[in-house]
Structure 1
Amino acid sequence: MGIFCWALSTAAVGTSQQFMQVAFWRAINGFGLAIVIPALQSFIADSYKDGVRGAGFGLLSLVGTIGGIGGGVLATIMAGQQFFGVPGWRCAFILMSTLSVLIGFLVFLFVVDPKKTNTTGENFDRDELIEKSNGSASSVWIESWTATKAVIKVPTFQVIVLQGIVGSLPWTAMVFFTMWFELIGFDHSSTAALLSVFAAGCAMGSFFGGLIADRISQIYPHSGRIMCAQFSAFMGIPFSWFLLKEIPQSVDSYYTFAFTLLFMGLIISWNGTAANAPMFAEVVPIKHRTMIYAFDRAFETSFSSFAAPLVGILSEKIFGYDSKSIDPVKGSVREAHALSQGLLSMMVVPFGLCCLFYTPLYKFFRRDRENAKMATLKEDEMF
């Protein structure tokens, strides 16, 4: 349902003629993604065991990022062309919608809920009983409300959401990287190449981060993932400082920027796959997994959206950014410096707080995981 929802809205954006039409269908697109992302994360959590779940989430992130890079390049190429008299950007939206519909059918036909593949059939029988006992609409809403209260009360969930709200601020602020590089003087293709290098580093980093955390969690089962997350968050500070402060802001620094962005992406992208997503799967009963991922995305995405406006406000009001001083071709070194100061403020401080906010998990994670295991065992005994 979520895939078909975003397929429909994507096609509608491609055919829209007015801004409000685009805005409306983009909102519907977000609704579809809000269905798919938590369900997909819950699916990965159910498909992998505790000790290898980081690799599963890392692989998901790697494939998704590679697809994002390829889609971005293809859309950019198509945008400047016309196909049968239709602007290329509209064709890109229609192509993506068509592929999404195809993927939706493939998911419907071939994807099987991991909880229903248990060889003993116990999970399948339990699900059938739950469906029969909760058949009415009112009981579904009551169960959802009960699950909501149960998830929100889990201390590990509260801590991870808190660090996620702060830790997602730098990533939202990074949308200004494109503008920053072009202010320095890089052309569109060079800027796109630098951002692609960073995206590739993040893709590989999220995968390797998940693998590393899986290995360390086997040695330190209650703290290994937390240590990996804190290391990754802390390393965002020196990398951000070196990128925005130490490298000369000149087109001659292209390769220095490229190598820095690559290694930065490799190191600072671990948190989601190494810690957050795998730990969520362990601190609530199985039936609440989709709920906990949905809440996490809702809280983090909502609050992280403030980062981009804050970068703009800091750059203009405090560091002297002036859009009227920008050369449309050569950019402006002065404005690039002002923007880099704003970016630095919204990256170094949140990365440090994110690292700090993981600390309470050394106390809460073990207890919450044991409570979740006990709750799952009780459910199994009931059914």
Structure 2
Amino acid sequence: MSDKDSGSAIYPPVKSGWFLVVMLTIAYIFSFIDRYILGLLIEPIKADLGLTDEQIGWVIGPAFAIFYATMGLPLGWLVDRSKRTWIVAAGIFVWSLATAVSGLAKSFWHLFVARMMVGVGEATLSPSAMSMIADSFPPEKRGKPISVYVAALSLGSGIASLIGGAVLIWAKTTPSVSVPLFGALAPWQLTFFAVGFPGIFLGLIFFFLKEPPRQVAELDSDLEGNNIRDALTYVSRRAGTYGTFISMAAVMAIIAYSQGFLPATFERTWAWPAEKYALINGVALLIFGPATVFITGIISDRWTQSGIADAPLRLMIVGFLIMLPTAILPMFMPSPEIAYAILCLNTVGIAMISGMAITALLAITPGQIRGQVVALYYMAISMAGLFLGPSTVGILSTRVFGEDNIRFAMATLPVVYGIVPLLCIPLAIRFYRRQLDHMLRQRDS
């Protein structure tokens, strides 16, 4: 049977909705493996290409963000009008091929351009995914499916970490491997090939998937249409609501993307080899990340069904209050074991924000501009996270503290970017509840 929401919205069968969620989650896992793997290969890439921490910061962050962020809005416009499964299929093909090509990089600029194209492909996924998930489940039942999708962040990071750890161990005994057509390749180059090419076949599957019908019940009388100008006008008139709300998610992205430097930080500070960090981190991410988003999603749905309409925002704020101190304290611990134990709590905070932020956003966003607003959200947090996260750590490490003291750069970043959103939490609650009341009135009218 189909689920029915208030109003005239009729949702697809539950099994169909969950099958789509599973496929989108698999795609998200692939995307995050391709995105995350570079951070685990920093030291061999630096050695082979002669790069500095600052250059690595630019490759991890801005190179990926240039198109991942800026393509978001036009892709969101396309999501609101075109076949979303085909958009996802094309995106998977582009980012997978670009990841594989990263393994052929011979210089900083080769790697920079390849990472740009990874960003182009990955920009298609989340706006399409959130649009289709919202069209598959009513508002009071979206917490769990969105949490499943967002769990891919931890799953992808964990799998990438395990792969990276295995490759680093292998690299110590195998300096290079000869590959037909490409000649001798270092283990880090083969890693990009291994994680990139399988995604091409996943992209083909999405060309044949059926997408859910677009819902028309969640509309807003304040909107005349659903083009880019309408979406921008709607958001700008509610700048306080979206600004204070998204600022917390932006800090989460800044901290999360800066953690691409954690393997190097543990190696330089506590002499943990990168492969040891990668293997421990992989297991921990696979345990703490998915468990957190699943539990938080269940709590969010139960609270929402019991009448707490702003439940996702409340849980998001709890995650923010966990995340901020646990990003700073590990860098001053006397041992790597204690430092990493605190970072496990940081993973919990990041996972809570990742899952609840998008759930909260969907609750205050009209259906006819959902794809574009979700794209704006990802554009905002991606620009913040990718431009400010890795590059800030890289610059502070190379120019201020010295590359042997990279931990101080890691500890400084959350303080610099987290204080203002922390102080604005009361405003975020007030603005969000006002917009939520507006949306509830629209649905009841």
TM-score when normalising by structure 1: 0.74
How far apart are the structure 2 equivalents of 1:280 and 1:357? 17
Q: Determine the structure 1 residue equivalent to 2:132.
A: 43
List gaps (5 residues or longer) in structure 2: 1-89, 220-224
Correspondence for 1:298: 379
Which of 126, 137, 146 in structure 1 is aligned with 2:230? 146
Unaligned runs of 5+ in 1: 117-121, 127-139, 327-334, 379-383
Could you tell me which residue of structure 2 aligns to residue 329 of structure 1? none
Contact 2:150-2:354 at 8 Å conserved across structures: no
Q: Which position in structure 2 is the counterpart of 1:330? A: none
1:211 corresponds to: 298
- Native 8 Å contact 1:205 1:268 kept in 2: no
Report the counterpart of residue 164 of structure 1 in structure 2: 249
Paired position in structure 1 for 2:117: 28
Change (3 A) 1:24 1:317: closer
Whether the aligned pair in 2 keeps the contact of 1:14 and 1:94 (CA below 8 Å) is: yes
Which residue does 1:175 correspond to in 2? Answer: 260
Greater mean alpha carbon deviation, residues 258-267 or residues 367-376: 367-376
What is the SS of the residue equivalent to 1:109? coil
Answering whether residue 338 of structure 2 is matched by residue 256 of structure 1, we say yes
Q: Alpha-carbon deviation of 1:290?
A: 1.1
Counterparts of 1:47 and 1:12 in 2: how far apart (Å)? 36
Contact 2:91/2:121 (<8 A) preserved: yes
Superposition RMSD in Å: 3.3
Q: Deviations over 1:20-45 (max 9, x none)?
A: 34432321221111122221122223
Q: Distance in 1 between matches of 2:411 and 2:227?
A: 45
CA separation in 2, counterparts of 1:29 and 1:182?
A: 27
Q: Which residue number in structure 2 is paired with residue 269 of structure 1? A: 351
| Count of matched residue pairs | 337
Cα shift at 1:54: 2.2
- Report the CA distance shift for 1:32/1:209 in structure 2 as closer, same or farther (over 3 A): same
CA contact (8 A) 1:229 1:355 kept: no
1:76 Cα deviation (Å)? 5.4
Q: Quote the Cα distance in structure 1 between the aligned partners of 2:101 and 2:317.
A: 42
Mapped to 2, the partners of 1:170 and 1:148 lie a distance apart of 27
Match of residue 10 from structure 1: 99
Contact 1:233–1:354 (Cα < 8 Å) also in 2:
no
Whole-angstrom distance in 2 between the partners of 1:20 and 1:349: 29
Residue identity in the other structure for 2:246: V
* 8 Å CA contact retained: 1:52, 1:211: no
Paired residue secondary structure (1:359): helix
Q: Hey, what's the Cα distance between the residues in 2 that align with 1:295 and 1:209?
A: 24
Distance in 2 between the 1:377 and 1:236 partners? Answer: 37
8 Å contact 1:42–1:289 — kept in the other structure? Answer: yes
**Closer, same or farther: CA 223–64 of 1 in aligned 2, 3 Å:** closer
Find the counterpart in structure 2 of residue 193 from structure 1: 279
1:83 CA drift (Å): 6.0
Q: Residue 156 of structure 2 aligns to which amino acid in structure 1?
A: G
- Aligned partner of 1:56 in structure 2 is 145
Q: C-alpha separation between the residues in 2 aligned to 1:150 and 1:344?
A: 37
1:230 has 2:317 as partner: yes
CA contact (8 A) 2:323 2:347 kept: no
Deviates more, 1:176-185 or 1:72-81: 72-81
Tell me which amino acid in the other structure corresponds to 1:282. A
1:71 offset after TM fit, Å?
Answer: 3.7
Partner of 1:243: 330
Structure 1 position 70, deviation (Å): 2.1
Rounded to whole Å, the distance in 2 between the matches of 1:351 and 1:198 is 25
Distance of 1:298 and 1:29 partners within structure 2: 15
Pick from 261, 269, 287 the counterpart of residue 368 of structure 2. 287
SS of equivalent residue, structure 1 residue 360: helix
Do the aligned partners of residues 28 and 268 (structure 1) sit closer, same or farther apart at CA in structure 2, a change above 3 Å counting?
Answer: closer
- One-letter amino acid matched to 1:208: I
Three-state SS of the structure 2 residue aligned to 1:112 is: coil
Q: Report the CA distance between 1:308 and its aligned residue.
A: 3.3
Contact 1:151–1:291 (Cα < 8 Å) also in 2: no
SS at 1:306 equivalent = helix
Q: Which structure: larger Rg?
A: 1
Post-superposition offset of 1:313? 4.8
| Residue in 1 that maps onto 2:156 | 67
**What's 2:214 paired with?**
115
- Structure 1 289/194 Cα, relative in aligned 2: closer, same or farther at 3 Å? same
* Alpha-carbon distance in 2 for matches of 1:278, 1:180: 33
2:199 matched to 1:100?
A: yes
Correspondence for 1:368: 435
Task: Tell me how far apart the structure 1 counterparts of residues 196 and 393 of structure 2 sit (CA, whole Å).
Answer: 33
Identity over aligned pairs, percent: 18
In the TM superposition, what is the alpha-carbon distance from 1:277 to its structure 2 partner?
A: 0.4
TM-score, structure 2 as length reference: 0.65
